[in-house]
Structure 1
Amino acid sequence: MTRDAVLTDAQWDRVRPLLPSSAGRRGRPFRDDRRVIEGIIWRYRVGTPWRDVPRSFGPWQTLWKRHRRYSGDGTWDRIHAELLADADAAGEIDWAVSVDSTVNRAHQHATNLARDTGALSSYKNLRAEPRDHAIGRSRGGLSTKIHQLVDGRGLPLVVLVGAGQAGDSPMFPVLMDHLRVARRGPGRPRSRPDRARGDKAYSSRAIRHHLRSRGIVAVIPEPSDQRGHRKRRGARGGRPVGYDYDDYKGRNVVERGFNETKQWRGLATRYDKLALTYRGGVVLRAITLWLKATTP
């Protein structure tokens, strides 16, 4: 395999039938699908401007337009969903999930679009561009957060992006709403994990009630300020929060998963103006991770 060939033949054989050009798409057929997809992957892996992608992948305009199209029409999400369905049918998904976010600095080339204050509802439609372009000002400057729900091995199940200063807790129900893994055969898509691991940022009555109502075991510690507030209220403060301390040690898989995601320099630093295309790059990274884990 050459240095710029980023997909093995076996991995490409799994991706190719899922592309629009192989699924009865009308109009002029796309050419050189493999080189275009590999060029998009190469660009995010290296973090180079689109204009600097090697000509061996084809015109940079073709790579950009294809990625913009696949990010907006849901192609990357459909490929990711198909890989998840295959993995679930083979028993390769560990349903002890973990949740967390990671902050990434936004490069100045990504921050020169007019921005309005975003709303949480704008992140629920994955094919619409949020008003703030998922860029906010946190302690480190203009930044974006990647929110992920991963399985027990740290492989992404749900990927969202949001403004860098936004809290983690409000995004948790949005992540859970997008967790739907189709079954190969009869039955509804699976949307309920066995347990959910999260750090203290996800400790709230609303989240614990949400998990308890769905029969999901919450493995979330209680921060000291919430513990003190509960004790001061006495009997009205409710019962002490309990969680499996040994099982909580498995939450670090989400941190290791972010390390894998940020091996792509175009994701560790955001260069995309649009949240839609930046998230598309993160979903594409999730696709490559699942391909690596499940393709012989």
Structure 2
Amino acid sequence: MTTRRHALRDDQWERIQDLLPGSKGWVGVTAQDNRRFVEAVLYRYRAGIPWRDLPERFGHYRKVHTRFRRWAKTGVWERLFRALANDADNEYQMIDSTIVRAHQHSAGAKGGDANAQCIGRSKGGLSTKIHATCDALGNPTGLHLTPGQACDLDGADVLLADIPTDTVLADKGYDADKRVIEPLEAQGKTAVIPPKRNRKTPREYDRDLYKARHLIENFFAKLKQYRAIATRYDKLAETFLSAIYMAACVIWLI
């Protein structure tokens, strides 16, 4: 079993190796270095280093970065995440978001539209908001990016549209009748969401079940152990989201 820092265990690699391009059974040339490549990308995001500072054992950093971008464009990381998330425990799910600071190097993508790359400007400077859903065991099931100043409900519009559970847990920031409560009830789902103070008629909710919402906070804590995710350095939203999918896959494999 490997003992390298930030590397995958052998049992973790065995679970995903056949789902990656270049594996046996895929059309085209079989990739002999898939594991080394995946571990190179993990190392970069976990350590938060520039691509050019990758250790020599991973090969030339330009080749690693180019291949990562190619997999991001073709949706490899998202498909891997979806495959692992098929094993979700859907007794209930929860939704929340977290903000990460965007480094100055992440700005300036071609086209000049920072919002299109999910980079916004708020009191804290440049930032990106990561929206996520988790299952009843705290494993991620859905991910979405918006600019940092976006409302939590912008993520809910996407992630709750087809959520495969009968019960959804969320904090009071999601207590919105037209965008959250009513759509869930129309689908026959239960919203376990504390009412806002300004509600004239407070809604009832399962307080005991609501305590399980800490699991999604635990997920964000694990995600931010990846230093290049806790601080965004990627210019393109597609690249950054792919890195988050990759880290979420590792969380599934723990």
Please give the range of the TM-score, normalised by the shorter of the 2 chains.
over 0.9
Distance 1:7 1:268 in 2: 20
Alignment match, 1:22: 23
Displaced runs of 4 or more, over 2 A: 1-5, 23-31, 112-118
Matched, 1:277 2:250: no
Which residue of structure 2 aligns with residue 169 of structure 1?
A: 153
Shift of 1:240: 3.6
Counterpart Cα distance in 2 of 1:74 and 1:200:
33
Shift of 1:58: 1.4
Give the drift of 1:69: 1.5
Aligned mate of 1:197, from 141, 150, 169: 169
Residue by residue over 1:263-282, the C-alpha shift from the partner in whole angstroms, topping out at 9 and shown as x without a partner, is 11010000101111111111
Q: Contact (CA 8 Å) 2:22, 2:29: kept in 1 or not? A: no
Structure 1 unaligned segments of length 5 or more: list them.
Answer: 119-130, 180-190, 232-238
Alignment match, 1:3 = 4
Tell me which of 212, 219, 237 is aligned to 1:257. Answer: 219
State the structure with more CA Rg.
Answer: 1
Q: What is the TM-score of this pair, normalised by structure 1?
A: 0.80
> Which of 267, 275, 282 matches 2:229?
267
- Verify the 8 A CA contact 1:36 1:62 in the aligned structure 2: no
SS in structure 2 of the partner of residue 281 of structure 1 = helix
Instruction: Please tell me whether the aligned partners of residues 105 and 143 of structure 1 are also in contact (alpha carbons under 8 angstroms).
Output: yes
Equivalents in 1 of 2:4, 2:243: separation in Å?
Answer: 20
Aligned counterparts of 1:204 and 1:150: Cα–Cα separation in 2 = 20
In structure 1, C-alpha distance between the alignment counterparts of 2:189 and 2:168, rounded to whole Å: 7
Deviations 1:137-194 (A, max 9, x none): 12211000111001122211001111000000122020123x5xxxxxxxxxxx4212
8 A contact 2:145–2:155 mirrored in 1: no
1:40 aligns to 2:37 (yes or no): no
Match of 2:95 in 1: 99
Q: CA 1:117–1:67 in 2, change beyond 3 Å: closer, same or farther?
A: closer
Q: What pairs with 1:71-150 in structure 2 (closer than 5 Å)?
A: 71-85=72-86, 87-88=87-88, 93-113=89-109, 114-116=111-113, 118=115, 131=116, 133-150=117-134
Query: Cα RMSD over matched residues?
Result: 1.7
Q: Is the 8 A contact 1:192 1:214 kept in 2?
A: no
Corresponding residue of 1:218 = 191
Aligned residue for 1:20, secondary structure, equals coil
CA contact (8 A) 2:137 2:215 kept: yes
Q: Which amino acid aligns with 2:164?
A: R
Partner of 1:125: none
Contact 1:192 1:216 in 2 (8 A): no
Alignment correspondent of 1:64: 65
The structure with higher relative contact order (CA 8 Å, sep 6+) is 1
Structure 2 residue identity aligned to 1:103: I
Code of the residue aligned with 1:116 in structure 2: it is: D
CA contact (8 A) 1:70 1:76 kept: yes
- The sequence identity of aligned pairs, in percent, is 40
Q: Which amino acid aligns with 1:252?
A: H
Counterpart CA distance in 2 for 1:240 and 1:23 is: 57
Instruction: Give the Cα separation in 2 of the matches to 1:45 and 1:262.
Output: 9
- Kept in 2, the 8 Å contact 1:146–1:161? The answer is yes
* Structure 2, unaligned runs of 5 or more: none
Task: Measure, in 1, the Cα distance between the counterparts of 2:76 and 2:210.
Answer: 35
CA change 1:5–1:261 in 2 (3 A) is closer
Partner amino acid for 1:204? A
Name the amino acid aligned to 1:167. C
Instruction: Confirm or deny: 8 A CA contact 1:84 1:157 kept in the other structure.
Output: yes
2:24 and 2:30 in contact (8 A); partners too: no
- Count of equivalent residues: 251
